[in-house]
A and B are shown apart, each in its own frame.
Chain A
C-alpha cells in the first residue's frame, strides 16, 4: 500500500471544515510503488492563490488554478500555455482532484495553515508561500500534518536556495567572523495607510467571505484585501513577518539556529500609524536574546543601512574577529566580496547547494528527502517573527520556550499562541507539540 493510500478519506473529511462530499483522494496515477513519483513521472501541480506573488508561481502546465477573485483567475489562466487549466474559487474543489499531486499555496497568511493541512490530508505535496503561519499553533499543526501524511512541504523563503546566501552561510558557520554575538537587521518602515477603510461594496468578481475565511469578519475595503492584507494583524504581520521572514530565515540559517530548542527573551517597542486603518506598527524595534549559545538579534524598522555595504534591507553579523553584511535574502541576496572569495576548508561546513527552490521541492517529492526550507524550519523562523509582534502588542518583555512552544510564566501571552477561527473553519487535531490528536 502506498503512503498516500494510508491517508484515510475519513481523516480529510473529518478535518475539512465544511461538510464536503469528497471522492477518494489518492492521486494513484502518478505515484510510484513506494509512494513517490518516479524520475520520469510528471508531477501534476495546481495553484491555490494566483494573485500577487501567486501569479509568479503559475506553471506553463498548471492543471488547475484557484482564487477567490475571478480577475486573478482570468489573468493566471493566460499564463498556462500547455493545456487548459480548470478554474476554481474554492480550494477544497482542487483538493478533491485525484489527478493532482501537489499544490502551490500563495494566498494571504491567514489561509496558509488550513490549506496546507487540508492539502496534506488530501495527499498533496505543498509548496507554500512564506510566512509559514500566523500563529505558533498553526505552525505546529502544519509540521504535524506534513509528518503524519508524509508530504513534502517547502516554504517559499527562497533565500535558502540563493547562491550568495549559501556563500555567506559557509563563511559564518566556518568561524570566519569569530564567535557571532550579535546580528542587527535593518528594514524600511511598514507602508503608510492612506484610507480609514470605510466599508465598500464587494466587487462582483470577489468572494469576500471566502477571502476572509478563518479570520474575523470585517467589511470589505480594497486596502484590506489584495497585497495590503499584510498591514493587518488578522491576515499579515507587517514587514516583520513579511520580508522579515526572509531576513530572519537567513539569520537562523547562518547562526545555526533552526534547531534551537532553548529559551529566547523578546522585547519590542514601536509606534502606531496615526492615520488610516492599518493596525501593524508604523515603526518597530525588536530584540531577541538567545541563550546557549548567547547571542542577540535585533530588528530595527526603520533601520540604518550598514554604510560599508548599504542596501534597502539586510543584516550585519558582528563576530569577535570581523563583521559581515548580507543584503536582502528573498529572491535577491547580496553579500560582501570576502564571503564570495571564501572556500571552506576540507572537512569544513558546506551549506546545501540548492538547485533552485522550486526544483529542490520537486526533487524531494521524488526522493522523499526534506527540502531546504522544510515546513519545520519555516515554523521556527516565523515563530521568531510572531514573537516580535506579540511582544509589541503585549507591551512587555516575554520569554518563549522553543521546546515547549509556549511562554514562560506568562499565561496571558500564551493566548497569542493561537487565534480562534471564524466558523466553520477548524484545525482541530493537529496543534499539539510533537504529537497529533483528534483523528
Chain B
C-alpha cells in the first residue's frame, strides 16, 4: 500500500479523526495522490470533498519547499491533468489555482489553452499572472492573440502588471531566466 493509498483510504473511511489527521498531514503523500484526491473532491460527500481539497493543498504547497523541485514537477504535472481533464468545474478551478502557486513553465501551455474555456479563463489567467518567468509571459501573450476581443484586454493587463508593478517573486531560477 502506498502513501497515496493510505491517504485516500483514510479520507474515504468512516473515522473523521483519521480523515482529518490524514488530510492535515498529507504534505508528504506525493503527486500520485493528486488525481484520486481530485476525484474525491468532486464527490457528493461534502466533508470528504473538503478533506480531499485540503490534502491537495498540502501536497501542492509542500512540493514548493526549497530542494523539492523533482516533486514539484510531478505535482505540477498531476495538477495539469486535473485542470485539463473532464472533472467538475470547481475541481478544475481549484487545480488551476494550485498551479498558480506550485506550477512553473511546464504548466504554462495548458493554462494558456484553458483561457479558451469561458468557465476557466479567469482562473487560468490569474494562475499565469502568478507564475513568474518568461514562459508565463509568453503564454499570456499567445493567449491574448487568440482571445476574443472582450477578453484580450484582461490578458494584456496581466502582462502589463507583471512588467510594471511586480517584483520578480517566485521560482525564477527554475525558469532559467
Contact = CB atoms under 8 A, between A and B. Distances in A.
Contacts of B173: 411
A143 interface: no
B167 A406 contact: yes
Nearest to B90: A219
B154 A424 contact: yes
Given A412-B102, A420-B129, A430 B165 contact: yes
Interface in A288-307: none
Nearest to A410: B66
Main secondary structure of the interface of A (DSSP, over half): loop
A271 B20 contact: yes
A196 to B, nearest CB: 5
B164 A393 contact: no
Counting chain B CB atoms within 10 Å of each CB, the highest count among A394, A406, A416 belongs to A394
B126 A422 contact: yes
Interface in A208-253: 216-217
A369 interface: no
A216 B23 contact: no
Contacts of B122: 216-217, 422-423
Counting chain B CB atoms within 10 Å of each CB, the highest count among A414, A418, A423 belongs to A423
Contact count band on A? 35 or more
B123 A395 contact: no
A275 B172 CA distance: 38
A413 B132 CA distance: 12
Interface in B95-109: 97, 100-102
Nearest to A19: B153
B157 A437 contact: no
Interface string A296-336: 00000000000000000000000000000000000000000
B100 A420 contact: yes
Interface stretch (B2-10, B35-43, B54-62, B79-87): B54-62
A426 interface: yes
Given A271-B24, A412-B101, A420 B154 contact: no
A437 B169 CA distance: 17
B65 A396 contact: yes
Main secondary structure of the interface of B (DSSP, over half): helix
Contacts of B51: 274
Contacts of A196: 46
A413 B66 CA distance: 10
B157 A395 contact: no
Contacts of A423: 122, 125, 151, 153-154, 157
Contact of A395 (B27, B127, B160, B161): B27
Contacts of A418: 130, 166, 169
Nearest to A270: B24
Interface of B: 16, 19-20, 23-24, 27, 46-47, 50-51, 54, 57-58, 61-62, 64-66, 97, 100-102, 122-123, 125-127, 129-130, 132, 151, 153-154, 157-158, 160-161, 164-167, 169-174
30 contacts: A137-B165, A196-B46, A216-B122, A216-B126, A271-B24, A272-B23, A274-B16, A274-B47, A274-B51, A394-B64, A395-B62, A411-B169, A411-B170, A411-B171, A411-B172, A412-B66, A413-B64, A415-B100, A415-B170, A417-B167, A417-B169, A418-B166, A420-B125, A420-B126, A420-B127, A422-B126, A424-B153, A428-B164, A431-B165, A438-B164
